[in-house]
A and B are shown apart, each in its own frame.
Chain A
Amino acid sequence: MSTAITFSNVVKKYAKNVVIPALSLEVRNGEFFTLLGPSGCGKTTLLRMVAGFNSIESGEILFDNIVINQIPANKRNIGMVFQNYAIFPHMTVGKNVEYGLRLRKTPKQELKARTDEILARVKIEEYRDSPPERLSGGQQQRVALARAIVINPKVLLMDEPLSNLDAKLRVEMRGTIREIQRSVGITTIYVTHDQEEALAISDRIAIMDKGVIMQVGTPRGIYQRPYNVFVATFIGFSNLFDAVVGQSGAEKTLEFSNGYTVPIKQLKNDVKAGEKVRVSVRPEDFVQAPEGDGIRGTVRTSTFLGRYVNYQLIVEGQEMEFVQDLRADAEFLTDGQEVWFSVAPEKINVFDQTGGHSLIEGVVRFGS
């Protein structure tokens, strides 16, 4: 019953201004797929092209091999959840949820049964006859979700649905959304600019910037093996270094500018010794080292965050971050203190000099 969505060289233009240049993407059947990117990256534009609210200037969007470009929004059979919920203020909760079923001329008994079922599933059955303005933001969001999925749409589209909720409710609602999506098994495209939300909720994520897909992959894959420097720095924090590839016997190495060298096993075969590269190191992948061994930094300031401490460092004139796990034996560093770090070589990422693509074996832009 659910649907795969294919984007094939899709282009969006506003007058002469190209917002999305030739984008291609596959969203699988039943998948929870997230479009993540900074504001203005084109993620909402792309979602609205799927919904039919934005025109498609070139290329095709397909639902299960059927081109939908020319099908108007009201014939696409989609479920859409809006950022501001878009609950009809002049209808009760029940009437809101029934609206799509009535348009489909659903028989009365089935209409009631399906409405009851979905209201129970999103846990708002007691508000059935209430006007929507009495509901809290979270409850309105549940109404919006119920209204979108009660019609058994082919795909569920969600445009930053949690951005108007407070932090605690956001975490609770994303659990609810995920649970319902799983149980219904509906293909879902979810738009957000909140990376934590994206990592927590998605089967796969597409990172977008300026209308271009930077990487597609699982949350874990994207965090651990970013395809380029943009992704490495957009998702979480990454410390960036310049380094040169070296050779030590059969093994390749990375030589940092101060001469610190680590062996590295996971580089692609075609990477040659002498090639200049960019290296990214997560704050938690620094390991404190004995003096004189590794990279030297100075503690500028620190933030105590309970489970760990976040240090702002100055390394070779650049600001960097180091996260220290608070184990029993951990020693606090003081401001101004000089520290030496080694890096965990199996965890670091290496990119070509421009930062455009990863040099790590097996890392691809469109991952599964």
Chain B
Amino acid sequence: MGADKLQLRSFWFWVLIASYILFAIFLIYPLSSLFSGSFQDITTGAFTLKHFITFFTKRYYYNSLFNSFKVTICVTVLTMLVGIPLAYIMSVVKIRGKDFLQILIIISMLSPPFIGAYSWILLFGRNGFCTNFLRSIFGVTMPSVYGFNGILLVFTLKLFPFIFIYVSGALKKLDVSLVEAAEGLGCHPLRKLFTIVLPLVLPTAMAGALLVFINALADFATPMLIGEGYMTMPVMIYNEFISEVGGSANFAASISVILVFLTAVVFLLQKYVVGTKSYVMSSLKPIQPKRMRGWKNVLAHLFCYSFVLLAIIPQATVIFTSFLKTSGPVFLMEFSLDSYTKILSKSADAILNTYRFALLALLIIVVLGMLIAYLAVRRKNIASSVLDTISMFPYVIPGSVLGITLLLAFNKRPLLLAGTSAIIVITFVIRRISYTIRSSSAILYQIAVSTEEAAIGLGDSELASFLKVTTRIMMPGVLSGAILSWITCINELSASVLLYTGKTKTMSVAIFTEVNRGNYGTAAALSAILTLTTVVSLLILFKVTGNKEVSM
């Protein structure tokens, strides 16, 4: 027993040390070199503030900051205006096909971020299907889908699911007796909504809003594709970095530092505001959806269906157009599998790479995620709590920033990783491990310590009880997080687009470059494969968790 204990302590001790080393090399060191790089003169290497001074004095640069905030704030407000009513209506009114709608909402949330921008251009762009159709038949000219409005449209439809999912979850925890108590006291239904329901779900809605805000602030592909010169910070970072690698790398680093700083401020501000205002609720009897009649029922259905269908248009568009014959960038109204045969010869590597890199990343994520979660929950001490916090850092680091960070850190010996497959896998792990850590910790909190103790009491060593008992019971929780990690890995673009080389191109990068070259057919076929993989993975997730929900 004594020997076992010693061996065990050393096992978890080494796990802790190893995790620290990994995070130090692949996260802390790169971030600190980004930070120091942003204060460095590229030629002399001396300390300088000139990048920051340039950013804040040149209108061209600081405007991107305003643009980013304008987009992000507008998107956050719009997603709340769509997401909250949608969640509320679907929880109080019996909506036909509700399960189906919920799955569509989750699919639209988890598909690649750039599919939205690209599909809306296909439909309503200058030469889009709908634009041409409306012009030739009705002579109607649609308002432009490019620029600020286009970014708003795509982001809102892409990100309102976060609010929807969070608010739906909060409404499930709201006991119906609270609503009835208000009614019994004489409250009019509408007033009840504003004095009871909304104030109670608002803290949770704010948590969803934070995710929307961070995602919108970090997303690079959407403003890049549909913004047409509407410069947001991630786009500027990408441009500065890609256009003249060398001179601008440090400048890009400075913009990155500003972006990370702002994201962190918003993150902490939100945690502070919501942290003081959240209510512990648990419902014995949640609100039951009621069947409505007449025009109210029609309106409720109309509202839910129109927003969900709008959100799923991009996926429908890519799948549909992937089966069309193309001539250059133009789709012909003729069925064909050409696009698929083309990608099989041209982009087979990208397809294989995606699955290879993501699978490898997933393997590391699951092992590392379980171990870190176990350390953070069962061996709670300062060292493991700090580790847990560090693992959440990537949450506030936009993908493009992480890409630059890793490039700057690993472009020279002894850690020359730039251009390798390893750096892509590492990016996947860093960006997406938090889903698995969180879901593993969540299930660990639900498993009584006594289950492990029972195994030990029956004669197992503690290590054996972890491997044979704990890991097995943890599996459903680990899997649900791992599938999310997997889906978000295969759809990762903003970091890989900076890190890829010809050999390490992934599907999402390939789609991005194909769209930029006007090869819409092959882009659609690749997107369809990616969407299909996402849907299949989601179905597996629902099977594993036994319900049709996703916790992000």
Contacts and interface: CB of A to CB of B under 8 A. Distances in A.
Interface of A: 51-53, 72-80, 82-84, 86, 88-90, 99-100, 103-104, 133, 144, 147-148, 151, 157
Interface in B165-214: 175, 177-178, 180-189, 191, 195-196, 199-200
A103 B191 contact: yes
14 contacts: A74-B187, A80-B180, A80-B184, A84-B175, A84-B177, A86-B175, A86-B181, A89-B280, A100-B185, A104-B186, A144-B181, A148-B184, A148-B185, A151-B185
Interface centre among B177, B182, B196, B280 (most CB of A within 10 A): B177
Interface centre among B177, B182, B185, B281 (most CB of A within 10 A): B185
A253 to B, nearest CB: 54
Contacts of B3: none
A133 B281 CA distance: 10
Contacts, number: 72
A99 B177 contact: no
Contacts of B183: 52-53, 72-74
For chain B, what secondary structure do more than half of its interface residues adopt (helix, strand, loop), or is it mixed?
Answer: helix
B281 A82 contact: no
A84 B284 contact: yes
Interface residues of B, number: 22
A82 B180 contact: yes
B279 interface: yes
Given A75-B186, A147-B185, A90 B199 contact: yes
A89 B180 CA distance: 14
Interface string B120-147: 0000000000000000000000000000
A265 B180 CA distance: 53
Contact of B177 (A77, A79, A82, A151): A82
A151 B184 CA distance: 11
B184 A51 contact: yes
Nearest to A73: B183
Contacts of B200: 88-90
A73 B196 contact: no
A73 B184 contact: yes
Nearest to A96: B181
B284 A86 contact: no
A90 B196 CA distance: 8
Given A74-B189, A84-B177, A151-B185, 9 more contacts: A53-B183, A74-B185, A74-B188, A76-B184, A80-B180, A82-B180, A86-B175, A90-B279, A147-B181
A76 B180 CA distance: 13
Given A103-B191, A133-B280, A86 B178 contact: yes
Contacts of A72: 183
Nearest to A77: B186
A100 B186 contact: yes
Interface of B: 175, 177-178, 180-189, 191, 195-196, 199-200, 279-281, 284
A79 B182 CA distance: 10
B180 A86 contact: yes
Contacts of B187: 74, 99, 103
Given A84-B175, A88-B178, A88-B196, A78 B184 contact: yes
Contact of A73 (B175, B180, B199, B281): B180
Given A89-B279, A90-B200, A83 B185 contact: no
Contacts of B196: 88
B261 to A, nearest CB: 33
A53 B288 CA distance: 12
Contacts of B279: 89-90, 133
B184 A89 contact: no
A76 B183 CA distance: 10
A269 B183 CA distance: 53
Closest 3 CB pairs of A and B: A100-B185, A86-B177, A80-B184
Contacts of B189: 74
A53 B182 CA distance: 12
Contacts of B182: 88, 99
A72 B185 CA distance: 12
Contacts of B180: 51, 53, 73, 80, 82, 86
Contact of A89 (B177, B186, B191, B281): B281
B41 to A, nearest CB: 54
Contacts of A53: 180, 183
A79 B279 CA distance: 25
A75 to B, nearest CB: 7
B178 A151 contact: no
B183 to A, nearest CB: 5
B293 to A, nearest CB: 13
Contacts of B284: 83-84
Contacts of B199: 90
Contacts of B184: 51-52, 73-74, 76, 78-80, 148, 157
A89 B199 CA distance: 10
Contacts of B195: 99
Contacts of B177: 82-84, 86
B314 to A, nearest CB: 38
B451 to A, nearest CB: 29
A236 to B, nearest CB: 30
A100 B200 CA distance: 18
A144 B178 CA distance: 11
A51 B281 CA distance: 24
A77 B279 CA distance: 29
Contacts of A86: 175, 177-178, 180-181
A144 B175 CA distance: 15
A144 B180 CA distance: 13
A99 to B, nearest CB: 6
B281 A151 contact: no
B280 A88 contact: no
Contacts of A75: 186
B185 A99 contact: yes
A78 B196 CA distance: 19
A75 B180 CA distance: 13
A82 B188 contact: no
Contact of B186 (A74, A90, A133): A74
Contacts of A157: 184
Contacts of A84: 175, 177, 284
A151 B186 contact: yes
Contacts of A78: 184
A18 B182 CA distance: 29
A104 B195 CA distance: 15
B465 to A, nearest CB: 37
Nearest to A72: B183
Interface centre among B175, B177, B183, B184 (most CB of A within 10 A): B184
B155 to A, nearest CB: 30
